[in-house]
Amino acid sequence: MKNSKLLLTSALVGTVAMGAVANAETKISGGATYTYSAITGTTVAGNTQGAGKEVQIDISNSATLENGVGFSAGFSLEQDGGQSAFDGNEGNFMKFTSGNTSFMYNIDKAANLSRSATPRASTSINTMMVGINGTTAATSSNYDYSPGSQAQQSAWNVEVAQKFDGGTAYLVYVPRQGDAGGANDGVDGTQTGTSMDFIFTGNLGVDGLNVLAGYSSADAETSTKDDLTVNMLGIAYNFGKIAAGVTRATIDQTDSTDNTQMEYGVTYAVSDNLTVGLLRAVTDDSAAGVSDETITAIQVGYNLGAVSVEAYGIEVDSFQGTSSAAKQTKFGLRLGTKF
């Protein structure tokens, strides 16, 4: 998440003169994921099992402006679980592209550190952790699946991206954290400070290589907290049927403590449609008396064309760094489709 010089010298800013739209194309797509999970060992809600769902509709438009600049825009409507309405504050964006450089004004669309270079056969550790310790939505695990990225996902921001041989570099700037936007020309009055990310992802010109590097800095929300900074580096290599990699993140947190988390992964392609994988994440918290939290998962992914089938098992030891915490396990099945 470097290459700031390349990003800052990009000349796209002067090319975003608005012109008439020609040859516009509108697309409607989406997807649905239906799940069933069983959790054991939690000391909060007891052993439990049940179904879950996420459905989403994506609407986008693309065109070439009269001045030759590429243009695209869109938003998503998402509904999870028993929600009675769609959330329309997902993936809103307007993007202008000139050559290999793009400029995007957005919320919940920019590059962020929720990604990982570590190969997986199924979903992310964060998704598998939902429900652990009795939570119904997100987990409060010491492992942070998107360190420093909540500002980009929950506030309007500007992303400048530069593609070149070997990868893409991103600069993401959030003028006001927490700014979800007001109605029409209104203003969201809940803003706090600013944040900025530098991110690189690519193969550096080497087939099979995947490199992720990033730096994130966010202003403290209050005068009693520290600024948040994150450094992330990940590398993976695909050897054919086998892929292996590791992602390391160091997080200087707002409470003056530091977290260092390592995520290791290896996958094996049994066939063109079937992949199995093993994941392990270890988080070391600098706070006194805190143990390493350890997450281990096995995954299976099967592609049936129109439907994907995923199964996983995850075990969490020393949840939140508490050595006396009960060991918890979760088994999940996911059925997904795109349309």
Looking at 29-38, 90-99, 225-234, 321-330, which range is the least confident one?
321-330
pLDDT, tens digit (0-9, with 9 covering 90-100), for 183-229? 888 887 666 788 999 999 999 999 999 999 999 998 887 777 788 89
The CATH number assigned to the domain holding 237 equals: 2.40.160.10
Give 222-229 contacts, CB < 8 A, sequence gap 24+: 225/254, 225/255, 226/252, 226/253, 226/254, 226/255, 226/256, 227/252, 227/254, 228/148, 228/252, 228/253, 228/254, 229/148
Burial 200-235 (b: 16+ CB within 10 A, else e): bbbbeeeeebbbbbbbbbbbeeeeeeeebbbbbbbb
pLDDT digits (tens, 9 = 90+) for 237-266: 999 999 999 999 998 877 777 889 999 999
State the pLDDT at residue 126.
86
Instruction: Judge whether residue 57 has pLDDT over 80.
Output: yes
Residue span of the structural domain in which 178 resides = 4-338
The answer to whether residue 72 scores a pLDDT higher than 80 is yes
Q: What's the domain count of the chain?
A: 1
Other CB atoms within 10 A of residue 66 CB: 12
* pLDDT (0 to 100) of residue 4: 40
Q: Evaluate whether 218 touches 132 at the Cβ level (below 8 Å).
A: no
Cα dihedral 262→268→274→276 (10° resolution): -40
Which string of DSSP letters, residue by residue, matches 263-274? EEEEEEESSSSE
Residue 19 predicted with pLDDT over 50: no
Separation CA 106–CA 156 (nearest Å): 5
CA–CA gap between residue 179 and residue 190 (Å, rounded) = 6
Joined tokens for residue 139: 């987990």
Q: What is the pLDDT of residue 148?
A: 65
The proportion of the chain whose per-residue pLDDT surpasses 70, expressed as a percent, equals 86
Q: Which residue has the higher pLDDT, 169 or 148?
A: 169
Do 226 and 240 form a contact (C-beta atoms < 8 A)?
A: no
Per-residue pLDDT, 265: 97
**DSSP single-letter state for residue 227:** P
Three-state SS at 321: helix
Identify the weakest region by mean pLDDT among 1-10, 70-79, 234-243. Answer: 1-10
Q: What is the pLDDT of residue 337?
A: 96
- The H-assigned helical ranges of the chain are 4-8, 125-129, 150-154
Residue pair 133/127 in contact by the 8 Å Cβ criterion: no
**What integer pLDDT is reported at residue 323 of this predicted model?**
73
